[in-house]
Amino acid sequence: MPEEIEGVESATASRSEPRRSSKIRVVIADDHPIVRTGLVQVLSSQPDFEIVGQAEDGNQALDRVRELDPDVLVLDLKMPELDGIAALQTMQQSGLRTRVLILTGSEDRNQYIQAMKFGCAGIVLKRTATDLIVKSIRKVHQGEIWLDSHTTAAVMKEFAAPVESGSPGGIKTAGERSPLSPRERELVALIAQGYKNKDMAEKLFISEQTVKNHLHNIFDKLGVSDRLELALYAIHKGLHYTTDHEKLRVAR
């Protein structure tokens, strides 16, 4: 079972609320029949799942989503005709409501980043245990984002990379007034880089309980529910930067 981030497996997403239905209606898109067959067998054994369609490439996946309007699309990244990234981009541009969980054998973090940018709700590696794949689909259907420790580390490392403030795409919100204290901002910066409570305590020369107290206050001030949501919020708002003599730097 993969190590989750400090016991947190997912974060509430700011996207649309999940639709209510008696079963989670799923479409599976993968170019390998054995993968589709295996997923169908696993998911069909769950009383709250209904497999409504399958696809072997990105174009078929889009057709199934438009035709069947499933709750969740389980989508491979590497497929013929139209790959998963291109399918995701089309879905985002079309405003389709179906939530997408990427199930991939690829460990290319650049693909993870592109998938997140194009609106996928979760990324799971094919080597993941079946019970976690089932759980990830449920969480995505509930309106949450699912990333295991491996994919989260890749996403956080990419988004938290230093960016010159004047460069294209640079984050301009880093200097905005924040309700957080300097210490709280420093903790947020470390969380956005994947630090755990124990590591932060050692780095800042404070106790783990003090770290937990600070995190409780940060969650309350920012209105986030867990560490992953905090990291995504921090990156979006530029809070993964901290101030040092009024100069921006990446916390290390």
Lowest mean pLDDT among 13-17, 96-100, 160-164, 178-182: 13-17
pLDDT for the residue 166: 35
Cα separation, 187 vs 170, in Å, equals 22
Residues 63 and 117 in one domain: yes
Residue with tokens 């996946």: 61
* Across 46-53, average pLDDT: 96
Q: Does 150 fall in a domain?
A: yes
Phi-psi region of 17 (alpha: psi -120 to 50; beta: other; left: phi over 0): beta
Amino acid of residue 201: A
Most confident stretch, 17-31, 77-91, 100-114: 77-91
Predicted confidence (pLDDT) at residue 162 exceeds the cutoff of 60: no
59/238: higher pLDDT:
59
Q: What is the span of the domain harbouring residue 71?
A: 10-158
Residues 148 and 186 in one domain: no
pLDDT for the residue 29: 97
Residues 150 and 196 in one domain: no
Q: Does 69 fall in a domain?
A: yes
Residues 43 and 89 in one domain: yes
Confidence tier at 12 by pLDDT (50, 70, 90): very low
Predicted confidence (pLDDT) at residue 78 exceeds the cutoff of 60: yes
pLDDT digits (tens, 9 = 90+) for 135-159: 999 989 988 778 766 666 566 555 5
232/111: higher pLDDT:
111
CATH number at residue 242: 1.10.10.10
Q: Does 3 fall in a domain?
A: no
Residues 101 and 217 in one domain: no
Q: What percent of the chain has pLDDT over 70?
A: 70
pLDDT digits (tens, 9 = 90+) for 210-235: 999 999 998 888 877 777 677 767 76
CATH number at residue 50: 3.40.50.2300
Cα separation, 200 vs 188, in Å, equals 10
Residues 42 and 131 in one domain: yes
pLDDT for the residue 167: 33
Predicted confidence (pLDDT) at residue 88 exceeds the cutoff of 90: yes
Residues 154 and 192 in one domain: no
List 12's β-bridge partners, or say none.
144
Q: Does 81 fall in a domain?
A: yes
Q: Does 168 fall in a domain?
A: no
Residues 141 and 246 in one domain: no
Cα separation, 158 vs 163, in Å, equals 11
Closest to 97 (Cα-Cα) out of 143, 31, 132, 55 = 143
Q: Does 224 fall in a domain?
A: yes
Confidence tier at 246 by pLDDT (50, 70, 90): very low
Residues 17 and 136 in one domain: yes
Total count of domains within the chain: 2
Q: Does 104 fall in a domain?
A: yes
Is residue 214 within a helix (H) or strand (E), and if so which, with residue range?
helix 208-222
How far is CA 245 from its chain centroid? 33
Q: What is the dihedral of CA 178, 183, 189, 195, to 10 degrees?
A: -150
pLDDT for the residue 178: 60
Closest to 195 (Cα-Cα) out of 243, 230, 165 = 230
pLDDT digits (tens, 9 = 90+) for 179-200: 788 899 888 888 877 677 888 8
Residues 54 and 149 in one domain: yes
Handedness of CA 82, 88, 94, 97 (dihedral sign): positive
Residues 191 and 131 in one domain: no
What are the residues whose beta carbons fall under 8 Å from the beta carbon of 11, sequence distance 6 or more? 144, 145, 224, 225, 226, 227, 228, 229, 230, 232
List 29's β-bridge partners, or say none.
55, 75
Q: Does 177 fall in a domain?
A: no
pLDDT for the residue 153: 59
pTM (two decimals): 0.61
* Across 33-57, average pLDDT: 96
Residues 21 and 116 in one domain: yes
